[in-house]
């Protein structure tokens, strides 16, 4: 599995083949722009920082949209042996993002193109707040969003 082969929370980003697709949960396209350095713990924050830095440096990085654990989930305390203990909730976030943006699970595209679609379709219209309505991070994201 690509996640186990390439990614770790220690940031092995500089050793990867950029032609490989990075698995990404669709709703993480909403989390990344709102991220301000807060997280569950230091390990999670380090992984987020590494992944976001990589995407910022490589907007042409290919991603594959998955409704399952991805590179951001690796260091999340809700990740229990590769499965989220809040899977029902986060899968709903993912499906909402896919539907509203016209994407499909398994679709491959460039990170920058994905972010542009998420921004235009969900963030500029404030639909992201409906998708993320019961997320524990919503208030922090709303505060961050007002400054974007």
CA dist list (Å): 94 to 13, 42, 100: 24, 25, 10
Task: Note the pLDDT tens digit of each residue in 70-91.
Answer: 998 888 888 888 888 888 999 9
- pLDDT in the model for residue 35: 86
Instruction: Put the strands of the sheet holding 62-65 in their side by side order.
Output: 22-24, 62-65, 108-110
Q: Is residue 145 part of a domain?
A: no
DSSP of 95-117, one letter per residue?
HHHHHHHT--TT-EEEHHHHHHH
Q: Cα–Cα distance between 2 and 7 in angstroms, integer?
A: 8
Q: Is residue 146 part of a domain?
A: no
Q: Is residue 50 part of a domain?
A: yes
Task: Note the pLDDT tens digit of each residue in 81-117.
Answer: 888 888 899 999 999 999 999 999 999 999 999 999 9
Task: Note the pLDDT tens digit of each residue in 1-13.
Answer: 444 433 443 444 5
Q: Is residue 22 part of a domain?
A: yes
Domain residue limits at 7: 2-140
- pLDDT in the model for residue 84: 84
Q: How many domains does the chain have?
A: 1
- pLDDT in the model for residue 94: 96
Average pLDDT (111-140) is 88
Q: Is residue 124 part of a domain?
A: yes
What pLDDT band is residue 19 in, cutting at 50, 70 and 90? low
- pLDDT in the model for residue 139: 80
Q: Is residue 147 part of a domain?
A: no
Report the number of secondary-structure helices (H) and strands (E) in the chain: 7, 5
Among candidates 85, 67, 64, which has minimal Cα distance to 6? Answer: 64
Task: Note the pLDDT tens digit of each residue in 34-80.
Answer: 888 877 788 888 998 999 999 999 999 999 999 999 998 888 888 88
- pLDDT in the model for residue 4: 41
- pLDDT in the model for residue 44: 84
């Amino acid at each position: 599995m690509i996640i186990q082969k390439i990614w770790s929370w220690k940031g092995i980003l500089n050793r990867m083949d950029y032609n490989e697709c990075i698995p990404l949960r669709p709703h993480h396209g909403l989390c990344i722009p709102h991220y301000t350095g807060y997280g569950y713990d230091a390990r999670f924050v380090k992984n987020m920082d590494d992944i976001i830095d990589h995407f910022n440096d490589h907007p042409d990085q290919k991603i594959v949209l998955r409704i399952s654990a991805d590179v951001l989930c690796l260091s999340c305390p809700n990740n229990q042996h590769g499965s989220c203990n809040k899977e029902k909730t986060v899968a709903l976030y993912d499906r909402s993002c896919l539907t509203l943006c016209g994407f499909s699970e398994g679709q491959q595209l460039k990170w920058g193109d994905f972010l542009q679609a998420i921004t235009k379709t969900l963030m500029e219209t404030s639909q992201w707040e409906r998708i993320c309505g019961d997320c524990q991070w919503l208030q922090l994201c709303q505060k961050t969003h007002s400054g974007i």
